Structure 1
Amino acid sequence: MWIWQLKDWPNFTYDKTIVIPKLESCIQAVSPLKQLSEFLSLEQRLDWEAAILLDETLASAKIEGELYDRDSVRSSIVNKLGIGKGNKFNQQSDAMVELLLSAIRTTEQQVNHDVIKQWHQMLFPVAPIITPMTIGDYRDDTMQIVSGRYGKQQVHFEAPGAVNSEVEQEMELFFDWLNASSNESTFIRAAIAKFWFVTIHPFDDGNGRLSRIIAERCLAEAEHINLRLFSLSSAFESHRNEYYQLLESHQRCELGSNEKIVDEKNNLDLTAWIVWFLSMLEIAAIDAKKEFERVMQTTRFWQKNQLTVFNTRQRKVITKLLETTDFSEGISRKKYKALAKTTDATAARDIGDLVEKEILVPIGEGRSRRYLIQKS
């Protein structure tokens, strides 16, 4: 028995005595982000959003088993935000960046059948060759989530609707609820919207990514801002096993019947899901504050070194060191060589010059020697 087969579907419930304390904690973590953004210049705000958008794009793809090239994603972001000129391009990741920006920039527009289908088209600019799929329209057959090898597959979930018209009816109910005015917390509505959409699973593919976009859009509406303040997918990706286990436990009703049941026994209760979602949102907000501090550190670095001369290789590596936490323990000469795409001798000269200029600080000896960037 699946959750959508319950007679009261989709009248979800939750225990306020459990949810409200977590909601208050979540709001305390998220609310300061908008205030922090107001302290930034336009250029700094865009740098902050670029970092968040980079994390969101990479993590959202990774959850679905896809790996995007980081430099290609970053190129798309800086080009679209107008804060630089990227020279690497990937059509798939570029389309994802465009979709993520569009969804947040147009929060005044209601999400309906046309909008969600357009988003799906944006998500798949090129049709898959190996597995045919319908792009820009709802699925027209049964959708099952399965795992395991052929002959021993396990069905984790079966979505409602076996034909296009049935799926459209499910989506109509969803949009009526999503676009209706409500006194309910938008944070809770975002959690429900995420779960409800991915349970309907209206498309052949891309449902997880679209469900997170819808949730983040709900949250952007709550803050009355069209700036992406945090990466929800990054939190989801780092707790991916919990995500799938909790999702399946709510979607699956182990009652051994295909009929609508009379006593749901609280199977439409989303308390655990909502609390977990709010926990992920709180984690995302905490990470976003760290990105805020990184933007401020980067600004201070370039202001302090505005008269310092760097060659193209050095500037590229410094930007990478400031942009990510991948080199929190320092960068080796070998890694510098790889990032700068240069020779051992040139890497050694570049690093020596940066140490002399007090941009890099050497730590360790011999093969274990690393170089940390002097951020302030």
Structure 2
Amino acid sequence: MYIWEQPDWQKLTWKDATIAARLAEVRHDQGRLIGRMEALGFRLREEAVLQTLTQDVVKTSEIEGEQLDATQVRSSLARRLGIDIGALPPTDRNVEGIVEVMLDATRNYASPLTTERLFGWHAALFPTGRSGMTRIIVGNWRDDSTGPMQVVSGPYGREQVHYSAPPSTRVAAEMGAFLAWFNAPTSTDPVIKAALAHLWFVTIHPFEDGNGRIARAIADLALARSEKSPQRFYSMSAQIRAERAAYYDQLERTQKGGTDVTAWILWFLECLGRAIHGAEGVLAAVIAKAQFWERAGSLALNERQIKVLNRLLDGFEGKMTSSKWAAIAKCSQDTANRDIAALIDAGLFRKGEGGGRSTHYEVAL
């Protein structure tokens, strides 16, 4: 029996005594992080928000198996937030869509969550009306015309069904109850509400595709309400991506259990706590970047050098070689070598360990 088959499934319960200590720790860590970020000053705080949101958008898509270009995501976010990061590369429609969803969820956290708002989010995620090569219903609830909504894994012919959602005939009524609960005033702690909202929405699974991304956007909206701030300094999606197997295991156990969801809330709180602590890395990177540019400010760097250095400082994946430099800067190999040599002479760049074909370069922080 799935949780939604329980006669009173919308009356989810939990044991306060079991989660109280962890909730108190998370709330304390939330406040401490916000305090530290606010002490950074406007420009550094702006950079921290941009890095966090970029990570959030990239990782929430990765969880669903979609790889987005982080540079495009950062560019789209910077343009919409009015942050100057230099020349902005063009972005794909699928990047623009998920960026729109995440920004609407966090910047407009105080606005009610409505059917039309959810339909707008769904349409933004699938601007072509297709999920991959498959045409899907966009901006409306699923109708199960191609069969029941199930979460499956495994090769064709040997699929394993992890979860079956409520039939489409129940979706409108289920979502009506969910939205009424989500928008109503409550004495429940907003962080607990974020955990419950994520579980409740993904259990209904109201859309043909995109349910996970929208569930995480709803959780981010609820977390923004818990902080009464649109600024995001940690990424729950990035932490869920890092713990994806545990996330799906806990979700499956909860959806196949009773209406006591204490174990789910506890897992959510622990994951959230790790996400908040993970923000220390963002904070360190933002400060290191600012200190680097203070040191480099007196040097006459060209546009190519500034562009590639920013790519590296913003979390470039892999090792920077002269050929990668040439590709990013759109210059010849000889020009790339001269740019790199000048930075090494200035003490801003250094050779990484290894040589020959393994020769690569690192920013000297």
Q: Same fold (TM over 0.5)?
A: yes
Which residue does 1:374 correspond to in 2?
364
Percent same amino acid among aligned pairs? 35
TM-score (norm 1): 0.89
- Is 1:275 equivalent to 2:299 in the alignment? no
Once structures 1 and 2 are overlaid, which stretch shifts more, 56-65 or 336-345? 336-345
For 2:242 and 2:55, the matched residues in 1 are separated by 12
Q: In the alignment, does 2:139 pair up with 1:143?
A: no
CA distance in structure 1 between the partners assigned to 2:352 and 2:111 by the alignment = 53
Shift of 1:233: 0.7
Report the Cα distance in structure 1 between the residues aligned to 2:197 and 2:111, rounded to whole angstroms. Answer: 17
Shift of 1:35: 1.4
- Opposite residue 78 of structure 1, the aligned amino acid is A
Spell out the pairing of 1:120-199 with structure 2 (5 A cutoff): 120-128=122-130, 130-141=133-144, 142-163=148-169, 166-199=170-203
**3-state secondary structure, aligned to 1:74:** helix
Instruction: Name the CA distance, whole Å, in 1 between partners of 2:17 and 2:206.
Output: 33
Q: Does 1:98 align with 2:89?
A: no
Which of residues 80, 91, 95 in structure 2 aligns to 1:89? 91
1:308-346 residue CA offsets vs partner (Å, 9 max, x unmatched) = 11122211121022111646xx74444434443443322
Q: Secondary structure at the residue paired with 1:372?
A: strand
Equivalent residue number for residue 242 of structure 1: 246
Alignment counterpart, residue 307 of structure 1, candidates 295, 298, 318: 298
1:31 aligns with 2:31: yes
Query: How much has 1:23 moved relative to structure 2?
Result: 1.2
Q: Which of 96, 103, 107 is equivalent to 2:109? A: 107
What is the CA-CA distance between 1:237 and the residue it aligns to?
0.6
Is the 1:73–1:90 contact (alpha carbons within 8 Å) kept by the matching residues of 2?
no
Query: Paired residue for 1:256?
Result: none
Displaced runs of 4 or more, over 6 A: none
Q: CA deviation at 1:75?
A: 1.8
Encode CA deviations 1:136-182: one digit per residue, 9 max, x unaligned: 1111223122233444332221111332xx21110111112111212
How far does residue 88 in structure 1 lie from its aligned partner after superposition? 2.4
Residue 119 of structure 1 corresponds to: 121
**Aligned mates of 2:116, 2:251 — CA distance in 1:** 27
- Paired with 1:162 and 1:209, the residues of 2 have a C-alpha distance of 20
For normalisation by structure 2, the TM-score amounts to: 0.92
Moved more, 187-196 or 81-90: 81-90
State the one-letter code of the partner of 2:262.
T
**Would you say how many aligned residue pairs link Structure 1 and Structure 2?**
358
Alpha-carbon displacement from aligned partner over 1:235-291 (angstroms, at most 9, x marks no partner): 0011111111111111125xxxxxxxxxxxxx2121221111111111211222221
Q: Deviations over 1:186-236 (max 9, x none)?
A: 111111110110000011111100111111111111111011221111000
Q: Matched residue of 1:135: which SS?
A: coil
CA distance in 2, matches of 1:16, 1:280: 18
Superposition deviation, residue 63 in structure 1:
0.5
Distance 1:304 1:109 in 2: 43
1:13 Cα deviation from its structure 2 partner: 1.6
Is the Cα–Cα contact under 8 Å of residues 43 and 83 in structure 1 kept in the other structure? no
Structure 1: segments with no counterpart, 5+ residues: 254-266
Does structure 1 residue 221 correspond to structure 2 residue 211? Answer: no
Which residue in the other structure is 1:259 paired with?
none
